[in-house]
Structure formats: C-alpha cells, structure tokens
Amino acid sequence: MYRKICLNVALATLLGQPLAATAATDADLQAIREQIQQLKQSYEQRISQLEQRLQQAEAGSKQAQQQAAEAQATAQQTLTQPVIAAPPSGSESAFNPAIAFILSGTYGNLRQDPAVPATGFAMSANNPGYSKGFSLKESELGISANIDPDFRGVATLALAPAGGVTVENAFVQTASLGHGINLKMGRFFSGLGYLNEQHAHVWDFVDQPLVYRTFWDNQTGEDGLQAKWLAPTDMFLELGGEIGRGRGYPGTDRNKNGTGSSVLYAHIGDDIGIEQSWQAGVSLHQTQRVNAISPDASNPLLNDSFSGDSRTAGVDFVWKYAPNGNIADRYLKVQGEYFQRRLSGMLTYDTAGLNVTDNYSNTQNGWYLQSVYQFMPHWRTGLRYDRLDPGTANVGALNAANIVANFGYLPSRTSVMLDYSPSEFSRFRLQLSRDLSRQGLPDNQIFVQYIMSLGAHGAHQY
Amino acid sequence: MKKILYSLLLLLFSTSSHAALNVFACEPEWAALTQQLAGDKVNLFTATGPLQDPHRVEARPNLIAKARRADLLVCTGAELEVAWLTVIQRESGNPAIQPGSAGNFEASRYVQMLEVPSRLNRADGDVHQMGNPHIQTDARNFLPIADALAGRMSQLDPANAAYYQQQLAAFRQRWQAAIARWEKQAAPLRGVAIVVQHRGFPYLNNWLGFKQLAELEPKPGMEPSAAYLGQVLGTLQQHPAKMVLRAAYQDDRPSAWIADRAHIPAVVLPFTVGGTPQATDLFALFDDTISRLLAGMK
C-alpha cells in the first residue's frame, strides 16, 4: 500500500512538474524577456526624468529644493531596494531569542482554607493558585526564537515562589511544512478547550474556572506530540490531535513504553461583519489513572487510591464584539465551556488501614460561563459563574459502606472582577467571589492582583 | 480508487498556484494601494477595519483562515502588527508568508523611518525599535512603496507583471500630480502649531511642516491622566496651538477635553482609507485629510 502511494506521488509529481517546466521554457521565457526589456526602458526613462528634475531643483528656489529631495528619494527607490536593511550587529547577542518575563502577585482575603476541595471532587486536582494574605504568584520566564528556517523553539519556565523552577512549556514547532500543517514536540499545554492553552497572565480572572481546576489541574500539559491541520477553507476549521506521556493531570506519569494519553479536538470560527467574531470547539481526552492517591471525601485523614480509565469530552465557545472592531476602545467577550468526565476502574478505600478494593465508576461534569466587558480604554469588568456536578458513583459492594456515592450537592461559585491596565504591559485587578463549592463552607473571597510583563512584546492568541 | 484520489489531490495542490494572487492586506491603506496597482488581478482581503487600532487587533480565527491561503501579505511592519500578525503567521501553516519570504511585504522597509529611538526602554512607553510605524500619513511615502509592491507582485505573479508595471506607471503619474496639488493646498498649514492625541503623525508633520507642541498621551500607549492633561493645558496657555489632532479610531474624550478648555478645534483625521465617510480611496484619503486640516485653521 505504502509503495503504491509513493509511486503515485512520484507519478503525479513527474506529471505535474515537467509540464510546468516546459511551459516556462517556451512561451513564458519570451514574455519574461519582453517584460525585462520594458522594465529596463521604463527605468531608464524615469531615471533620466529624475536627473532632469534634479538639475532644475539645484537651480531653483526653496520649493524646488524640496522637489529635488523627493526626486532623489524616488531615484533611490526606483531600485525597489529596502531603504533600511537591519544594521548587521557584530555581536553574538544579535541572535538572542525573545525573552519575556511575567511578574505577578496576589493579596487574598478568604474565610475558608483553600486546601479543602470542592464537595464530591476529593479525587480531583485542587490547586486554587491563591492563598490567604499576600502571595507571590509564579514568575514566568518565556524564551522563544526561530531555531533555523524549519523550526521554532519555545520554553516557559515557572519560578515557584517557594523556590525551584518547573518547566511549564518546552517545545519545538515546525515553521515551514505548509499545507496548513503545524507539528509540535516536547512539553506543551494541550490545545483542547478554549482556556487550556492560555497562560496565566492573560486569564481574565485571578484563578481558573472550577471545572478547569478540578478536571485539568488548571491547565493540562503533556510531554508528547501535537499535530494540527488548518483546512484551506474560507471559514476557520482546525483539527488537532495529541499523544503524550500522560504526565498531565488526570493522567499518571509512569515509566512505560507507548502513549499515556491522547487528545482530539476541532475548532471552527469566523467573523460576523467587522464587529463580531466567534470560535467553537469540541474536545476528547483519554488517559489512565494509576494508583492515584487522594484523601477520602468523608474522612480526609484516610487515603484512597484509584486506578482506571479517564475519558473526557468537552465543548467550548467564545464570542467577541467590539464597536467598529476596535478592541482598544471597547469590547464585550462571552465565553463558556462544558466538560464531562467518566472515570471507571478500581478504587481502594483506606490504603493504610482497611485497604478494601472494588469497582468504582462515576460520571462528573462541570461548566462555566463568563463575560468580560471593556467599558472604556484600559478598564474592564467581568462576571463569571461556575458549576460542578459530582455525579452519582457506582461503587462496588465491598466499598458500598465506605465510599460516598452521591453527595446531593452541586458546587457553584460566582465571581466579579474589575481590572485596570495602565499600559499594554501592566494590569491591576480586584476580584470578589462568592464561593459555594464546598458544602457547609460558604466563602466570600476578595483578591487584589497585579500582573506585569517585561521584555519582548508578546503576541496573544484569540 | 485511492490512487486516483491521491493523484487528484496532488493535481489540485499543483494547479492552485496558477490562480490569481491571494493578497492579505493588514491595513486598509495597503489594500487600497494594492487595488490601485493590481485592479482585479488579485483576490484582496483586508485584515483590519478603518476604525480599528492597527496595533491592537486580535489573532481572530478568520484572519488565520485567510492567511492560510494568502500568497502575499502587505503590511506596515516596523512592529505595528507585532501583537497579532506573528500568531497568524505561525498558526496559518503557510510558509509563503513567513518573515523573510517573498510573500511577506513590509511597506516600512521602503521609506525613511522617523522617530527611530536612540534608546529602547519601556519607560518611554510603547516605542518601536524600528521607528514610528504610522508611515501612511505622508503621501510621498506611497511612491517608493508602490514601486516595491508592484515589483513584488510581478515577482510572485510573472504572468501579470506587465500589467502591474503599467498600473504602477499610471499610478505614479496621478499620485505625483496629486502630491503637487496637496502641497499647494496645504501651504497655509506650514509652521502651524498643533497638539496630537497619540504620537501618530510625525510623517504628516514632516511633510506639511506642522509644529507639534505636545501629545495628550504622557507616553505612547499610556492613558492621559487628568493631571497630565492639565499640564498640557498649561503649556497651551503659554504657547497656543491652532488645533488638536486625533485619528478616527481613537477615543474622542482626551482631544475633546483639551479642545474645550483651550478653545481650539479638535480635528479628526481619517488616518486610513475609510476612516471618514469621505476617505473612500487613497486619493480621497489625502483630499479629506487636507480639507479637514484647513477647516481646523478657520
């Protein structure tokens, strides 16, 4: 089969190329000669005209001098050479990559301990990214440059406030494959959903939506490969697939051949006139959780362990509106995402004590809907509503008395924010949240945040 | 069956290169110039509207889809589009329009740049290391850019090279006559003191000889504070200006505030083709710009 395709490719190229080549040698060559002749004549004419004008100008008044200057400029430019070529710098630093550094800090005023997970999501990730009082957020160092004509490299290092550096992103991507194909390899944020790929400094709120916190540990990343294909259509249509190690939550990092996770997604999008634009997508994610330890939902002093499959499906959309399409002035953005995850496998209750293992399966879902409105240049306000559904678990008979199957509670949260950006590179934010994600522990939260970026001017995704 | 499909697919890819050039113009002025030089020989797409800040555009899905099929980008360059075009080029998966390719035309490379900073420090606001990118406010800049653009289109589309050169010759003739007319009309503007809202008019100043007294933005890209505007007002009481200029896409409040207190007219300039209802093409852009400036003198 493969050979047949190769043969076909070769055949088609052979068929296509010589045709084009012979065509070029016959009729086109004559045409090109004529064109060159015409060009030469017209330039010679023009240059002689300009010379005349120069002479006139030298003789004449102040106004004539101006014309001469213009003529001189035009004479130069008839050569259609760039006026300024980038001055070649002798030093090695001329090839230094673009470096951007993000500084961010938060003040949080919370009544409840943020370490308590949302009701029914004890087995999920819970890293809110904020704490009581003043805290430095991760400082982010981004480095990127073209490696050679074919590849571009990107690294994002996160400097944790407590010390230590983690590699958030480190990937190379192709730059010249053509046909709308982009490949990435290394460590990257998955292209699923809408928010997942966006870095923390462009988030519209202090924290990620609850569904991202619990389902994706804020942002899911992989060590692996990503392939994207952009269809040659008038409307934006992009298909993407990823395979990876499985290290990103909800996967489990382990030493094993093959792939530990796979993702498929599609995005479509378009403009509606000059003022509106939109994008919508669907995503599928699949991985395995292996010996994933988490505190028990009803007794946090005990640990449970789960091994099994995780399958997630999601839909996302975003719609933006700006009067005259001018986002510098005012704009409105509405976005929402929904994810549903099915976990099925074996759950071990109280790993250190009773150690009872039986079947466990559960389907959980979560969504958010948010809107951000820039009501005047530099000032924005936003509203977000979060909702989670912990589902009703199917618990094997051995664990029926140990594991809570149904919590009968739907965690939710409402947040409002106001932010001010003195320039493109700095932002201050105030956020208030009414957090009802934990049953019996309602919380009113106040956050004040700054986000600043220094260095290279970043370009942001839609 | 599969063989036939593959062969058809390859033929599709190889034949598509013979169709008319797909031109992706970043700003309306370059779309208008391309239109002058290429007429209906190209498929033209304009990425930004006349009332959009060309520096602040989003890498919208539609732009990525259009860039995917573009043979030629016609943009200002000089970092004007840095916040969005780089993402579009990358996501398009189209090698023809990457930086350094023949399909990536940057107009700012063919004119003498002004306000090239002697030091690069964001403490000076949003400065561009290659100079001020708002080159389209000086009509004279269009001549070298037209030369280079016609050359570039001839290179990419040799079949129509003669047509592009012919259009270029016609455009040059009309444009040079128009420049002479505009310079004559604008003679009363020479030496006139003005205030600008954003540092967007150095090329216009250089061409028509305005004397720019102040900017309403304390630094490029920064919001004017009440205190700073008060300071500008103080300057204007000592050295009066004739008018305050802003581009059509900019917020009208700062210039209205100063115009009100300094008792000078706030003049809105189209800044690009379509910026005002009168600025319907390149010629009308400068006709309208100059008539609005002259009206501001009264």
A220 is a domain residue: yes
Question: Residue A244: beta bridge partners?
Answer: A224, A261
In this complex, do B59 and A5 lie within 8 Å of one another by their Cβ atoms?
Answer: no
Q: What is the pLDDT of residue A462?
A: 87
CA B236 from chain center: how many Å? Answer: 29
Q: Are residues A33 and A119 in the same domain?
A: no
A461 chain-B contacts, CB cut-off 8 A? 59, 87
Give the residue among A73, A40, A80, A41 at the shortest CA–CA distance from A57.
A73
A173 chain-B contacts, CB cut-off 8 A? 90
Q: What is the pLDDT of residue A85?
A: 45
Distances (CA, A) of A60 to A47, A57, B188: 20, 5, 21
In this complex, do B6 and A5 lie within 8 Å of one another by their Cβ atoms?
Answer: yes
In this complex, do B49 and A324 lie within 8 Å of one another by their Cβ atoms?
Answer: yes
CA distance A298 to A300: 6
- How far is B149 from chain A, CA to nearest CA, in Å? 8
A358 is a domain residue: yes
A164 is a domain residue: no
A235 chain-B contacts, CB cut-off 8 A? 62, 65
Give the residue among A74, A139, A61, A81 at the shortest CA–CA distance from A106.
A139
Which residue in chain B has the smallest CA separation from A455?
A: B122
Which of A10, A41, A56 is a domain's end point?
A56
Q: Which of residues 52-91 of B touch A (CB under 8 A)?
A: 52-53, 55-62, 64-66, 68-69, 79, 82-87, 90-91
Domain hosting A325: range is: 111-128+172-455
Q: What is the pLDDT of residue B162?
A: 94
In this complex, do A425 and B62 lie within 8 Å of one another by their Cβ atoms?
Answer: no
CA distance A169 to A240: 18
Lowest-confidence region among A77-86, A401-410, B47-56, B255-264: A77-86
A117 is a domain residue: yes
In this complex, do B61 and A267 lie within 8 Å of one another by their Cβ atoms?
Answer: yes
Three-class SS of residue B265? coil
Which of A37, A56, A75 is a domain's end point?
A56
Which residue out of B122, B130, B145 would a mutagenesis test of the A interface target, given it has the greatest number of A Cβ atoms within 10 Å?
B122
CB neighbour list of residue B173: distance below 8 Å, 6 or more residues apart: none
CA distance A240 to A227: 6
Q: Are residues A49 and A116 in the same domain?
A: no
Most confident region among A84-93, A110-119, A408-417 by mean pLDDT: A408-417
CB-CB contact of A259 with A226 (8 Å): no
| % residues pLDDT > 90 (chain A) | 59
CA distance B53 to A329: 9
Place of tokens 């990457």: B98
Which residue out of B12, B55, B64, B71 would a mutagenesis test of the A interface target, given it has the greatest number of A Cβ atoms within 10 Å?
B64
Q: What is the pLDDT of residue B16?
A: 45
Mean pLDDT for chain A?
85
Q: What torsion do the CA atoms of A177, A181, A186, A191 make, to the nearest 10 degrees?
A: 160
A138 is a domain residue: no
Structural tokens at position B283: 């010629």
Q: What is the mean pLDDT of residues A316-338?
A: 94
Q: What is the mean pLDDT of residues A16-21?
A: 41
A154 vs A91, residue with greater confidence: A154
Length of chain A: 462
Interhelix angle B85-92/B61-68, nearest 10 degrees: 50
pLDDT higher than 90, residue A441: yes
Which residue ranges of chain B lie beneath pLDDT 70? 1-19
In this complex, do A12 and B6 lie within 8 Å of one another by their Cβ atoms?
Answer: yes
CA distance B203 to B131: 11
Q: Are residues A120 and A9 in the same domain?
A: no
- How far is A181 from chain B, CA to nearest CA, in Å? 5
CB-CB contact of A431 with A380 (8 Å): no
A96 is a domain residue: no
Q: Are residues A122 and A27 in the same domain?
A: no
pLDDT higher than 70, residue A16: no
Structural tokens at position B14: 């190889």
A82 chain-B contacts, CB cut-off 8 A? 109-110, 148
CB-CB contact of B242 with B193 (8 Å): yes
pLDDT (tens digit, 9 = 90+) per residue, B185-224?
Answer: 999 999 999 999 888 899 999 999 999 888 888 888 777 7
Q: Are residues A117 and A43 in the same domain?
A: no
Q: What is the pLDDT of residue B199?
A: 87
A325 chain-B contacts, CB cut-off 8 A? 48-49, 51-52
**ipTM attached to this prediction:** 0.85
At residue A36 the predicted structure's pLDDT band, cuts being 50, 70 and 90, is low
Query: Whole-model pTM?
Result: 0.82
B61 chain-A contacts, CB cut-off 8 A? 236, 267-270, 277-279, 462
In this complex, do A31 and B65 lie within 8 Å of one another by their Cβ atoms?
Answer: no
In this complex, do B10 and A235 lie within 8 Å of one another by their Cβ atoms?
Answer: no
CB-CB contact of A327 with A367 (8 Å): no
| % residues pLDDT > 70 (chain B) | 94
Long-range contacts, stretch B195-198, CB < 8 angstroms, 24+ apart: B195/B232, B195/B236, B195/B241, B195/B243, B195/B244, B195/B245, B195/B258, B195/B262, B195/B264, B196/B244, B196/B245, B196/B246, B197/B224, B197/B244, B197/B245, B197/B246, B197/B247, B197/B250, B197/B254, B197/B255, B198/B246, B198/B247, B198/B250
**Other Cβ atoms closer than 10 A to A324:** 15
A38 chain-B contacts, CB cut-off 8 A? 162, 165
Mean pLDDT for chain B?
89
Domains along the sequence of chain B with CATH: 15-179 (3.40.50.1980), 186-297 (3.40.50.1980)
Which residue in chain B has the smallest CA separation from A81?
A: B110
Q: Are residues A367 and A272 in the same domain?
A: yes
pLDDT higher than 80, residue A70: no
Which residue in chain A has the smallest CA separation from B55?
A: A328
Sheet holding B243-247, edge to edge: B211-215, B193-196, B243-247, B266-269
Distances (CA, A) of A328 to A102, A203, A377, A424: 22, 18, 6, 10
Q: What is the pLDDT of residue A460?
A: 82
- How far is B178 from chain A, CA to nearest CA, in Å? 14
CB-CB contact of A362 with A310 (8 Å): no
| A198 class by beta-carbon count within 10 Å (0-12 exposed, 13-18 middle, 19+ buried) | middle
Q: Are residues A6 and A121 in the same domain?
A: no
Give chain A's domain count: 2
A146 is a domain residue: no
